[in-house]
């Protein structure tokens, strides 16, 4: 039995969302903020939260960013629907599904997490060992709808070194590659985009050209 391309898109989206949210909820309810588990010297589970875009980048306001994410995800969903309807290749459709799933995964954090979780702390006067967040606390969450923070946990300090003293500006400073902390949703977006660029540039280019001609 041959499975439809729409089925593969749905399966991809569901697997990413389930894995992403399961991991985020576990981290949020089992780790305090900035807690770090060293799996290997180059791979850590490091709990952080951010108000911004992928990899903790913060450029624009939280409310605007949340609304922009929702609109962009709706546009990607419609594009994905058109791809399935127009019978594009399964691989190309799965790439777009990965990008869509990653976007939705982070939207869930932004929309709901401020309401369904209370705050996570690293250390404070009252919680010297850190405070682990609770899900659905009776007194309410740490923020309001659309103001939740995105949970990140993957940290890959592949190279840790110090810049030589003779270097201008950076001499003596520590250097870590790769320093951003990210999550599974970010990874899905990055993988989807990377595969598109590496293997589907012609398909993407033809699709863009066809849209220009129709316009």
Q: Which residues are catalytic?
A: 152, 186
Token pair, residue 187, equals 């990874």
Within 13 Å and on the Cβ side, how many CA atoms surround 114? Answer: 17
């Amino acid at each position: 039995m041959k499975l439809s391309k729409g089925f593969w898109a749905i399966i991809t989206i569901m697997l990413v969302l389930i894995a992403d949210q399961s991991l985020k909820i576990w981290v949020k309810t089992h780790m305090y903020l900035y807690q770090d588990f060293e799996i290997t010297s180059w791979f850590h589970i490091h709990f952080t939260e951010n108000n911004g875009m992928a990899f903790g980048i913060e450029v624009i306001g939280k409310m605007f960013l949340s609304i922009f994410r929702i609109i962009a995800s709706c546009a990607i969903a419609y594009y994905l629907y058109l791809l399935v309807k127009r019978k594009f290749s399964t691989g190309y459709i799965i790439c777009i599904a990965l990008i869509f799933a990653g976007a939705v995964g982070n939207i869930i954090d932004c929309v709901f997490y401020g309401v369904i979780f209370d705050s996570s702390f690293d250390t404070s006067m009252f919680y010297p060992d850190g405070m682990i967040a609770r899900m659905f606390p009776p007194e309410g969450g740490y923020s309001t709808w659309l103001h939740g923070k995105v949970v990140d946990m993957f940290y890959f300090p592949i190279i840790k070194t110090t810049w030589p003293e003779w270097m201008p500006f950076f001499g003596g400073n520590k250097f870590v590659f790769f320093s951003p902390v990210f999550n599974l949703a970010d990874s899905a977006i990055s993988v989807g985009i990377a595969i598109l660029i590496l293997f589907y540039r012609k398909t993407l280019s033809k699709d863009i050209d066809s849209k220009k001609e129709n316009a």
